[in-house]
Structure 1
Amino acid sequence: MLRLQLSHYRVVQAVRIHGTVSAAAQALGLTQPALSHQIAEAERRLGTKLFARVGRRLRLTSAGDLLATSADAILMEAGLAESTLIGKFGATPGEVVRIGTFAYNSYRWLPLFLKQLQQQWPNLYFEFITDTTKVPIRSVLDGDVDIAISAGNLSSSRTKVFSLFNDELLAIAALGYPTAPQSYMLAADFLDDPFITYSTIYETGFEEELLWRPAGRRPLNYLRAGNTEAVIEMVKAGFGRSILSRWAVQPYLDEHQLVALRVTEHGMPVKWSAVVRKSHQHSKLLEAVCEQLQTWCQLNFSHLGAQ
């Protein structure tokens, strides 16, 4: 299993060529903090130092020199493979947009939107990134994804945010599973049962910020399922309760596979947004995609939100 991504090899190669973080970051279209984070992440994954700072410049360690030499060969081979495939099959080079959906993978509606988008831009292709080791805005700033879709406050001086639609968080349980005596659930109602979650990483806009912290208490027993579909399947099987957004669970509610209650007496609204990095080399294209997504969501998700 590979520990590094191509982006890490590009960073090592760029620093070797340019010698400083600022020059390498400019060449790659990244911010200096984002490039420094990529270096630190590569060193963490490999368990060794790749660079040593000498004044304002970075010098490759022996491990870094080995990786940089490999980077030349790897990136050259990847470029050759792409050129060969494009030439062999007569394909037109396209732009790949990486969309971070993270653990919320119940995007049944997203392929339909993207299919419509490709009618306008036939050479635009999409990849879905579901890595949950970083919060969404960090993934955007570090260049791991081009567009992140998430809830909560995603604003930053270095990002542009597009509001998509309003939603609400719901407490879900299996059919017949004991629920609160009232028509809603409070933080205290979750304490005695396993709480099934897709990630234990703190994210703004979800139950950690909106429920557990204000109440000063949280479940004692967490079960990490990895993504929302796995959470739903474990809840259906009676392993515990969870909290997910309405749009993620509505199909299961319509088919009477789950029961759901509001979280707190007045509900727990959330707003979904798309975010891009302002300094991205293709920022105009990404912003155009987000504007189209914004319009599409407003037409199709006006029924969501607190009910």
Structure 2
Amino acid sequence: MTSRLEMHHYETIVAVSDTGSVTAAAGRLHVSQSAVSHRLAEAERRLGGRLFERRPSRGMQPTPAALALCQAAHRAMPDLARAERDFMRSAGGTTATVRIGIGSYDCYHWLAQFAATASEQLQNLMLELVVVGDSPVQRLADGTADLVLAPGQPRGACTAQHLFTDELVLITSPDHRLAERTWIGPESVGDEHYFTYNRQPAPGFEYERFIRPAGVSPRTITVLEQTGAIAEMVAAGFGVSILSRWAMSPWIEVERLAAVRCSRRGLDLEWSALTRLDTQLDAPERQVADAIVEWLGNGGNPSN
């Protein structure tokens, strides 16, 4: 029997099923929302029935008729990906592929410098960038990623290896009224249009530690799931945000953004390398994590 759907249809079905959102699925697949909607509509047309239904509390969920199809796609896609990587290793001399992502932030400005410095140490290892969003431990569990550099204190079944201490800072455009401050209190965001990348505040970040205890709230809030997009909107003067200084360093260093400390003491932010609990000490992803730690210890600057 010839399959009515193609690989990109199944990739889309898995992404929508995982995220519960066409918007989030588009971000994971690096395509437009309209492309995701078109793929779903085409798949439904080919199959002759609806694949998803929208539920107010849970987002896009598979219909009863489509549940088995979604589950089969979930099982098949990782197997196909592993088979592709095995073939690439055999054909190209690569001994292993490590899928690496950044939790919460889309920032890879440091990667080229690290890869160049550690090229001999990581010989025959191929780094593959993946999107993990705000659920790094879940992406490890479902096999999307092998290694995640994550801020804060990720919760769930994983092994965390400390990397470096960062800081959460208020970012503004250079000509914003708060840009010249040495530090700000939480009340300063009360009159601002605020950008954030997650719909639910993550524990251990600015809302829990800085904004909520003061009993204040930004005037308006916009959710943009890509932190690079937030940086561009803030640089253009459309609002402010509180984000990782390291993640925003490409904009801060060229003075497209100003960074202001949150409170006199600041808000420290720990970064860790996360791997699955069952990862062996000599596994390729642990080798990459150890190489990053060594690079940082020898003066490697993740802001560059």
- The aligned residue for residue 3 of structure 1 is 13
From the superposition, tell whether residues 155 and 117 of structure 1 become closer, same or farther in structure 2 (CA, over 3 Å).
farther
Q: Distance in 2 between matches of 1:183 and 1:271?
A: 22
CA distance in 1, matches of 2:83, 2:194: 48
- Going from structure 1 to structure 2, the CA distance change for 1:233 and 1:300 (only over 3 Å counts) comes to farther
Contact 2:88 2:94 in 1 (8 A): no
TM-score between the two structures when normalised by the length of structure 2: 0.68
Cα displacement (A) at 1:140: 2.5
- Distance across 1 between alignment mates of 2:79 and 2:198: 36
**Corresponding residue for residue 254 of structure 2:** 255
* CA offsets 1:30-56 (integer angstroms, 9 cap, x no match): xxxxxxxxxxxxx9866135xxxxxxx
2:98: which partner in 1?
A: 97
Report SS of the residue matched to 2:291.
helix
- 1:275 aligned onto 2:274: yes
Which residue in the other structure is 2:121 paired with?
A: 120
Distance of 1:271 and 1:125 partners within structure 2: 27
Question: Which has the higher mean CA deviation after the structures are superposed, 258-267 or 248-257?
Answer: 248-257
How many Å apart are 1:230 and its aligned residue? Answer: 1.4
Q: Over residues 211-239 of structure 1, what are the superposed CA-to-partner deviations in whole Å (9 max), with x where a residue is unaligned?
A: 12322333241122322221111111100
Report the AA paired with residue 122 of structure 1.
Q
Q: The residue matched to 1:275 in structure 2 has which SS?
A: strand
For residue 137 of structure 2, what is the aligned residue in structure 1?
137
Q: Over the residues paired in the alignment, what is the CA RMSD in angstroms?
A: 3.6
| 3-state SS of 1:261 partner | strand
Tell me the TM-score normalised to structure 1 length.
0.68
Partner of 2:196: 197
CA separation in 1, counterparts of 2:80 and 2:107? Answer: 35
Contact 1:99–1:145 (CA under 8 A) maintained in structure 2: yes
Distance of 1:73 and 1:245 partners within structure 2:
36
**Residues in 1 aligned to 2:79 and 2:105: alpha-carbon distance in whole angstroms:** 35
Could you say which residue in structure 1 is the equivalent of 2:53? none
In structure 2, the gaps of 5 or more residues are 1-8, 19-57
Instruction: Name 1:215's counterpart in structure 2.
Output: 214
Q: CA–CA distance in 2 between the matches of 1:127 and 1:187?
A: 39
User: What's the % identity of the aligned pairs?
Assistant: 28
The separation in 1 between residues aligned to 2:275 and 2:260, in whole angstroms, is 34
Specify whether residues 119 and 219 from structure 1 end up closer, same or farther in structure 2 by C-alpha distance, changes over 3 A only. same
Distance (Å, rounded) in 1 between the aligned partners of 2:67 and 2:181: 60
AA at the equivalent of 1:91: G
In structure 2, the CA distance between the partners of 1:205 and 1:302, relative to structure 1 (3 Å rule), is farther
Which region of structure 1 is more displaced relative to structure 2, 230-239 or 73-82?
A: 73-82
Q: Distance in 2 between matches of 1:135 and 1:80?
A: 25
Unaligned runs of 5+ in 1: 9-42, 50-61
Residue 238 of structure 2 corresponds to 239
Q: Distance in 1 between matches of 2:114 and 2:244?
A: 20
Cα pair distance change 1:227/1:68, threshold 3 Å:
closer
Alignment length, in residue pairs? 253
Taking the aligned partners of 1:228 and 1:69, their CA distance within structure 2 comes to 33
1:23 aligned residue: none
1:101 & 1:263 partners in 2: Cα distance? 23
Contact 1:94 1:123 in 2 (8 A): yes
Q: Is the 8 A contact 1:169 1:245 kept in 2?
A: yes
1:210/1:297 CA distance change after superposition, 3 Å: farther
Provide the secondary structure at the position in 2 that maps to 1:96.
Answer: strand
Aligned to 2:28: none
Name the structure 2 match of 1:17: none
Report the CA distance shift for 1:73/1:259 in structure 2 as closer, same or farther (over 3 A): closer
Q: Are 1:47 and 2:48 counterparts?
A: no
Larger radius of gyration: 1
User: In the aligned structure 1, how far is the partner of 2:145 from the partner of 2:184?
Assistant: 35
